[in-house]
Amino acid sequence: MPLKILSVDDSKTIRMLVAKAFRPYDATVLEAGNGEEGLAVAAREKPDLIILDVTMPVMDGVTMLTKLKENPELKHIPVVMLTAESGRDNVIHIARLGARDYLVKPFKEDQLIGKVTRIVSLQPRAGTPAPAS
């Protein structure tokens, strides 16, 4: 069964980059444009991993992460935060809220895959050669 990865970002470009990074793997990438949509998709789909932007309209990533961790059905889902801010205080704050890791934008596909493989097991898609690491 493919991994379910939820990409929550107000930037369609970032969501496309995330989806592209996982194409060689046995993974389904779900998308949401803000934290409110992200919570709804997470509750409905129960993804194996969430890649969550910090700064978004409607509901930001920090609020979504807080709500995820408060929900008994969703709090176990590992979250990788995407942030434009690499400041130490910001990083400590999202770690305290329960994010498993973070990635500073702009990022490269292999950086994202590297962070994700430390958290979940990514399998190559059937019939696809494994990407060189």
Measuring CA to CA, which residue among 78, 133, 90 is closest to residue 108? Answer: 133
Contact 47, 5 (CB under 8 A): yes
pTM of the prediction? 0.92
Pairwise pLDDT comparison (85 vs 82), residue with the higher score: 82
pLDDT single digits (tens) 19-53: 999 999 999 999 999 999 999 999 999 999 999 99
The token pair that represents 117 in the structure block: 């493989």
